[in-house]
Amino acid sequence: PLSYLTFSIGEGALRALVNAAAECRVDGIELRNPSYAGRVRQQRAAWLNEHVLHVAATGSSDAHHARLVGTAWTDFEGTSMAELRRAIAERTTTPDGRHWTLGEHLDGVARQQWRSMVKDPVKRARRRMGRKKAK
């Protein structure tokens, strides 16, 4: 959250959710993300949670490469989904993990950027154009 390096929920939106209806509130906030994008506002997100949000602290690797999956996680007592849900509700979770190295960030980035910025948008545009012609 709060990152200026990626599309990310901002502080204003999170503050607004504090006073929202119960079904619109967040249960947790990611306070451990090993990427640079996840780390740039980590301290501010932790402060916001401690002083404003008061929700479960979580960790997530949010990896786009298989070898980086599991480099950050959420610790909790138990092993089941029900125990995780209880830990989130009781705010007894702990974010954990390690930061990615620069090399890990750069590994595969050219291929990923090509796919997300060129290949996939072109594929979606072609599909849309095909649908319009069919009508």
For residue 135, tell me if it sits in a domain: no
Q: In angstroms, rounded to a whole number, what is the distance separating the alpha carbons of residues 39 and 103?
A: 16
Domains held by the chain: number: 1
For residue 2, tell me if it sits in a domain: no
- Indicate left, alpha or beta for 108 from its phi (over 0: left) and psi (-120 to 50: alpha): left
- When pLDDT is cut at 50, 70 and 90, the band that residue 134 belongs to is low
For residue 88, tell me if it sits in a domain: yes
Quote the DSSP letter at residue 107. T
Q: What is the pLDDT of residues 116-126, one digit of tens each?
A: 888 888 888 88
Q: Which domain holds residue 30?
A: 11-100
Average pLDDT of 45-63? 95
What is the predicted pLDDT for the residue at 90? 98
- Report yes or no: 25 and 18 within 8 Å, Cβ to Cβ: yes
Name the residue with higher pLDDT: 114 or 24.
Answer: 24
The letter for the amino acid at 131 is R
For residue 58, tell me if it sits in a domain: yes
CA atoms within 13 A on the CB side of 25: 13
Q: Residues 58, 61, 64, 67: is their CA dihedral positive or negative?
A: negative
- When pLDDT is cut at 50, 70 and 90, the band that residue 135 belongs to is low
- Report yes or no: 58 and 49 within 8 Å, Cβ to Cβ: no
Q: What is the pLDDT of residues 18-43, one digit of tens each?
A: 989 988 889 999 999 999 989 999 99
Q: What is the pLDDT of residues 61-112, one digit of tens each?
A: 878 788 899 999 999 999 999 999 999 999 999 999 999 999 888 887 777 7
For residue 68, tell me if it sits in a domain: yes
In DSSP notation, 26-94 reads -SEEEEE--SHHHHTTHHHHHHHIIIII--EEEE----SSGGGTTSEEEE-SSSSHHHHHHHHHHT--E
Residue 128 has pLDDT above 80, yes or no: yes
Residue 54 has pLDDT above 90, yes or no: yes
For residue 44, tell me if it sits in a domain: yes
